[in-house]
Structure 1
Amino acid sequence: MARPPTGPGGPGAHEGSVEPGEQGRAHGGYAALLDDAAATGRRPCRAELEELRTLGEQAAVEGTTLRTLVVSHLAVARGVRPSGAGAADDVLRTMGLAVDALCEGYERAQQVAVRQQEAARREFIDDLLYGRSALGRLAERAEQFGLRLSHAHAVAVAEGPAPYAEGDAVPRSVERAVNGRFGERSILLTTKDGRMVCVVPGDQRDVLTYFAKQAHAATDAGRTAIGRAHPGPGGVVHSYEEALGSLDLAHRLGLEDPVLHAGDLLVYPVLTRDRQAMAELVRTTLGPLLKARGGPQTYLDTLTAYFDNGCVTTQTARQLALSVRALTYRLERIHQLTGADPTDPQHRYTLQTAVIGARLLNWPERKT
């Protein structure tokens, strides 16, 4: 029958072997193991080592430090008096096996605790970003991670050339850089769906800017979107969704900026809020380009470059690697096909809005 763990002064321990201040708990049969090793050279059996592992686990759960646990068992060994040739080596061997088993059990408990903490943190992050928990309960859990959801918060989302996972080298390096610069002042850094996520109080947007810079530098690529600050427990979800929406817009519009601010892109959600009306504008305004030889894409690219360059023909022609004359011909052809003149201010706004709508709706690949 397994002997219950006892204190240093309990049964099986050598009296006076644990010095004051060393309050770790020594295994009840540990001293007997050492005595057997000194007398007969017997090594601990599997069951005895498992008892020591269990003690190590219990010590970790109760909050005893590993140092204290090891010191208390080493102190017990000082009371052993080996006799005969080789007895000291047998005692040292048994002591080493015992301490190794203690440490193994201690580390086992720590690994379980870490996995439990990681699971709780991941569940909290999912609930925080998707708003799947009662707001009151969510606010209580948030305080464990340094967030006060009664305040406004803003979220930045970074994507790279490859998906990120928790513990990858890039997220770790970015976290070290951000925490090294700002400390942990209510900053939550994590990964979600292959992207890095940074949540900060709404008045600490400098942290998000630095996060975006580090995320880009870590891969020499990628893009970060920063949502606006929003108050209350639902503010994190709102800001997170804005950041995700900005990344989606960047893909559809071909935006190349490494940092996107949701506040600067509000016009695009407005344009697509009435999706049916936007689709009708695209069909009516740009539909005639489907009749062009080779399809509409060349003319759509021409209009995009023309508007992006402030309707300056020389800059547009240079970007498209065309002569000014060739560009002028294309603009005239667009006028002939659509009836709208890109060089006429009265027509320009309609054409530019329709071109933006085409990119947002993925027209003409996805028929509107």
Structure 2
Amino acid sequence: MTASAPIAPGPVPVSWEALEILRSDAGNLTNEVNGHLEETLTWYRHLSTDERASLRLIAQRGIGGLVTWLENPSSRSLPLVNELLGHAPTDLMRTISLQRALQLIRSIVEAVEQRLPGLMPLKDQQLMLEAVLRYSREVAFAIADVYARAAESRGAWDSRLEALLVDAVLRGEPAEQIASRAAAVGWRSHQGVVVVVGEAPDQADAVFMSQLRRQCVRFAADAVVGVQGDRLMLLLGGTTDLAAGLERILPRFGPGQVVFSSFEGSISQAHKSALAAFTGFTASQAWTSAPRPVAAEDLLPERALCGDETAKSVLKTVIFDVLEASGNGLLETVTAYLEAGHSLEATARELFVHTNTVRYRLRRVTDITGWDPVVPRDAYVLQTALAVGRL
């Protein structure tokens, strides 16, 4: 027994008689297909009249395309799906999902298989059945390709909208414009925004953005990803377990520092928080032992040195003004302690008080400001606040 020849990928050659039967019976075949769709697809029956008409047009053109495909036996490939079905792919995507589109094709093939072979001459019945199967396979792949390209286009457009939102928040555009851009990307959180800034990786393409966004939505109700120059910037809303979430996405950033800032209000008012994280990313280079990630609020001295007016204002109002208003020699004590090289004895001699009094006042400074003068990092924050306050 000789081995059978491999099946050619092009159209199956059928007789001209079979083609004439197919061409003349196309209208009846289309009606039978429409009836089969009504019977087998529940969601099809719930479509509007216009939507069903659009899908019937797809079936009609698909059957006509089968005739064209079979008329050229030497063809090795299927014409482009847009040429084959006209505007049907666009109508298809507007009406149904890819899963339902493939269900539609499957149902059309079932209807054609039930009717068409019986109309053909005996010698063409098997060939016509094989042709229908090949043709439907090619159409399914072509339509899936259209859906994939459309998804890529939507993804690129969504990335553009997200980049515009990130830029609007960073620039401090009017609240109405920010709210409008947030609505365009589907932002739902009304309160609570976290801004994260880090170095962008070398390959920050659409696939990377999509993967990072999927990781973020595991611990945030909303996640917007944008790239500003060499910086990767995230806007997160409705976060849960922020520390663990940031730890999971750290490998997505480049080798530099990652800075985050939290804001309790809405995204339309998050400009200062975004600016704090953005400036903090630049300023973080001055604190070589900073944790990764680091809060922008922990970078107040470095941000102040970078000219961040918000950081200067916080240092003055939260530390210097509070100490000055509290009295009891707290401002003088912490000043003397810092200038005396963190020596309790030297501070006591400078102020003509007992060392226990110095200890008590320093504890009061910690209670009032939240920064402990005995801790080197906190002492640096306090010293910067005192300088900013006096300036």
CA distance in 2, matches of 1:166, 1:236: 26
Residue of structure 1 equivalent to 2:60:
28
Match of 2:260 among 226, 239, 256: 226
Residue of structure 2 equivalent to 1:15:
31
Residue of structure 1 equivalent to 2:235:
199
Distance 1:76 1:104, change over 3 A: farther
Aligned partners of 1:150 and 1:232 also within 8 Å: yes
Aligned amino acid, residue 157 of structure 1? V
CA distance in 2, matches of 1:118, 1:271: 34
Residue of structure 2 equivalent to 1:280:
none
Residue of structure 1 equivalent to 2:179:
139
Distance 1:93 1:140, change over 3 A: same
Aligned partners of 1:12 and 1:30 also within 8 Å: no
CA distance in 1, matches of 2:179, 2:308: 35
Secondary structure, counterpart of 1:185 in structure 2: strand
Deviation at 1:155, TM superposition (A): 1.2
Aligned amino acid, residue 154 of structure 1? V
CA distance in 1, matches of 2:274, 2:224: 13
Deviation at 1:60, TM superposition (A): 0.7
Q: What is the RMSD of the two structures over their aligned residues, measured on CA atoms?
A: 4.4
CA distance in 2, matches of 1:39, 1:234: 61
CA distance in 2, matches of 1:109, 1:116: 10
Aligned amino acid, residue 193 of structure 1? G
Distance 1:41 1:87, change over 3 A: farther
2:137 pairs with 1:96 = yes
Residue of structure 2 equivalent to 1:63:
96
* 5+ residue gaps, structure 1: 1-9, 276-306, 313-347, 358-368
Aligned partners of 2:257 and 2:292 also within 8 Å: yes
Aligned partners of 2:193 and 2:236 also within 8 Å: yes
Aligned amino acid, residue 71 of structure 1? R
Deviation at 1:33, TM superposition (A): 4.5
Match of 1:75 among 110, 121, 127: 110
2:158 pairs with 1:117 = yes
Aligned amino acid, residue 92 of structure 2? A
Deviation at 1:173, TM superposition (A): 5.9
CA distance in 2, matches of 1:215, 1:69: 40
Aligned partners of 2:187 and 2:222 also within 8 Å: yes
Deviation at 1:242, TM superposition (A): 0.5
Aligned amino acid, residue 181 of structure 2? R
Deviation at 1:243, TM superposition (A): 0.9
Q: Percent identity?
A: 16
Aligned partners of 2:65 and 2:85 also within 8 Å: no
Secondary structure, counterpart of 2:297 in structure 1: helix
CA distance in 2, matches of 1:235, 1:98: 50
Match of 2:204 among 150, 165, 180: 165
Secondary structure, counterpart of 1:257 in structure 2: coil
Secondary structure, counterpart of 2:194 in structure 1: strand
Aligned partners of 1:146 and 1:187 also within 8 Å: no
- Please show how residues 145-160 of structure 1 align to structure 2 within 5 Å: 145-147=185-187, 151-159=191-199
Residue of structure 2 equivalent to 1:236:
270
Match of 1:179 among 217, 220, 227: 217
Distance 1:246 1:232, change over 3 A: same
Secondary structure, counterpart of 2:160 in structure 1: helix
Distance 1:39 1:200, change over 3 A: closer
Aligned partners of 2:171 and 2:271 also within 8 Å: yes
Distance 1:188 1:251, change over 3 A: same
Deviation at 1:152, TM superposition (A): 4.4
CA distance in 2, matches of 1:176, 1:274: 33
CA distance in 2, matches of 1:16, 1:233: 55
Aligned partners of 1:38 and 1:88 also within 8 Å: no
Once the two structures are superposed, residues 218-274 of structure 1 have per-residue CA deviations (whole angstroms, 9 ceiling, x without a partner) of: 579542212242534553221111012112112144444323222223244456659
How many aligned positions are there?
272
Secondary structure, counterpart of 1:199 in structure 2: strand
CA distance in 2, matches of 1:235, 1:105: 40
TM-score norm. by structure 2 comes to: 0.54
Distance 1:102 1:179, change over 3 A: closer
Distance 1:138 1:76, change over 3 A: farther
Secondary structure, counterpart of 1:200 in structure 2: strand
Once the two structures are superposed, residues 85-125 of structure 1 have per-residue CA deviations (whole angstroms, 9 ceiling, x without a partner) of: 53433343333334444434444444433333333333333
Distance 1:68 1:219, change over 3 A: same
- Please show how residues 245-324 of structure 1 align to structure 2 within 5 Å: 245-270=279-304
Secondary structure, counterpart of 1:28 in structure 2: helix
Deviation at 1:21, TM superposition (A): 4.1
Distance 1:152 1:67, change over 3 A: same
CA distance in 1, matches of 2:61, 2:273: 59
Aligned amino acid, residue 63 of structure 2? A
Deviation at 1:163, TM superposition (A): 4.5
Aligned amino acid, residue 60 of structure 1? M
Deviation at 1:216, TM superposition (A): 3.5
Aligned partners of 1:227 and 1:239 also within 8 Å: yes
TM-score norm. by structure 1 comes to: 0.57
Aligned partners of 2:192 and 2:266 also within 8 Å: yes
